[in-house]
Amino acid sequence: MSSFLHQRSLQAASSDTFELSPRSRQNYQKPTVALLSRGPALLLLLLSLLVILGVIFPYLQSPISLFSFKSWSSGSKWREYTLPDAAAYVAKNNTLIVCAVSEAYLPFLNNWLISIARQKQQDKVLVIAEDFATLYKVNERWPGHAVLVPPALEAAAAHKFGSQGFFNFTARRPRHLLQILELGYNVMYNDVDMVWLADPFPYMEGEHDVYFTDDMAFVKPLNHSHGLPPPGKKGRPYICSCMIYLRPTPGAKLVMKKWIEELQAEPWSKAKKANDQPGFNWALLKTAAQVDMYLLPQTAFPTGGLYFRNKTWVKETKGMHVIIHNNYIVGFEKKIKRFRDYGLWLVDDYASESPLGKI
């Protein structure tokens, strides 16, 4: 009986969830055809099983609901969906927009997606799901736009800033980005506590290897340099690892490899509560001579430490802002409140604009 259930759930899944996925259908329909071709006896057996099942199914008080079967079976399909598959399916103009999220951040993901959809760039978005719940939820609503690079992260650990779980979560970013570069794509990485107010791609001027934004909150002149800023008190610059654009060049790959090395050299410890940003800055500093780097304009890509804290500056630079980052604040609820206060929490009123709908 359980193998029959399995079969049935796979069919149910293949007929709705996977409609848009090019690779899935054949796999799941073949076994049915093979079974039926063995003759009418088997068909009769199947039919009678179906009847029996129809009678007893409603009385089954086990956790084995149709729903869990469905998500389990669709999960087994998406488990085999690899980063190369997903990148090939999602990339437009050889370019991907990538984020990495765990289930707790789905509201932020949706908020970010609404803002991207308003710039008509959502088709390029690939969500790197850190847990299976995220993988299923995104792909159920938006087939093919989420991928999980194993291993999956343990849910509870993943979203506390400064925790080892958070470090593990962010430490995998450069690996994912390097793999995408090795596959030959341009990639824009964003944290999902960001909101787009305009299309950032026109700002990725020239043919540099790596584009990034400063996380320093002091106001710079409009004509500030586009080079890597000089090191600060800690001996390294304060570039944000939250928004990075990379071209698939040897220079960009070198920065990712160096970043991975730096994270390995200085892994998480209770005392330091590291996140991945210092490692990124050491990597930039140490490769600056070999890599063509471009600091994006502050007016377009301000740190949250400036945008949310200096009304004068915001007024002076009105109409020039492109991506707003909700950082320089700790805590899930505080971030949501701040976005609401500034009219940037879009999920309450505009969820229908998201490719995921209300989530």
Ligand X SMILES: *[C@@H]1O[C@H](CO)[C@@H](O)[C@H](O)[C@H]1NC(C)=O
Residues lying near ligand X in the complex (CB under 6 A) = 93, 154, 157, 164-165, 168, 218-219, 221, 223, 225, 310, 312-313, 316
Residue 313 CB, shortest distance to ligand X, in Å, is 4
For residue 25, what are its two tokens? 């259908």
| Complex with ligand X: residue 313 or 350, whichever CB lies closer | 313
| Complex with ligand X: residue 54 or 221, whichever CB lies closer | 221
Q: Which amino acid is at 182?
A: E
Long-range contacts from 304-310, C-beta under 8 angstroms, 24+ separation: 304/328, 304/329, 305/215, 305/216, 305/217, 306/217, 306/218, 306/219, 308/338, 308/342, 309/217, 310/217, 310/219
Concatenating the DSSP letter of every residue in 277-314 gives HHHHHHHHHHHTTTS-EEEPPTTTS--HHHHTT-HHHH
CA 103 to chain centre: 11
The DSSP H or E segment spanning 161 is none
| Complex with ligand X: residue 32 or 164, whichever CB lies closer | 164
Residue 98 CB, shortest distance to ligand X, in Å, is 16
DSSP 92: B
| Complex with ligand X: residue 144 or 297, whichever CB lies closer | 297
For residue 165, what are its two tokens? 């779980």
DSSP H helical ranges for 57-93: 66-79, 83-90
Residue 304 CB, shortest distance to ligand X, in Å, is 14
| Complex with ligand X: residue 295 or 323, whichever CB lies closer | 295
Q: How far apart are CA 229 and CA 180, in angstroms?
A: 27
Residue 273 CB, shortest distance to ligand X, in Å, is 13
Residue 223 CB, shortest distance to ligand X, in Å, is 4
| Complex with ligand X: residue 136 or 167, whichever CB lies closer | 167
The β-bridge partners of 28 are none
Concatenating the DSSP letter of every residue in 33-51 gives HHHHTT-HHHHHHHHHHHH
Residue 115 CB, shortest distance to ligand X, in Å, is 18
The DSSP H or E segment spanning 251 is helix 250-265
3-class SS of residue 79: helix
3-class SS of residue 214: strand
| Complex with ligand X: residue 40 or 221, whichever CB lies closer | 221
Residue 18 CB, shortest distance to ligand X, in Å, is 28
Residue 163 CB, shortest distance to ligand X, in Å, is 7
Phi, psi of 80 (to 5 degrees): -90, 0
Q: How far apart are CA 282 and CA 197, in angstroms?
A: 30
Residue 317 CB, shortest distance to ligand X, in Å, is 8
| Complex with ligand X: residue 4 or 313, whichever CB lies closer | 313
Q: Which amino acid is at 39?
A: G
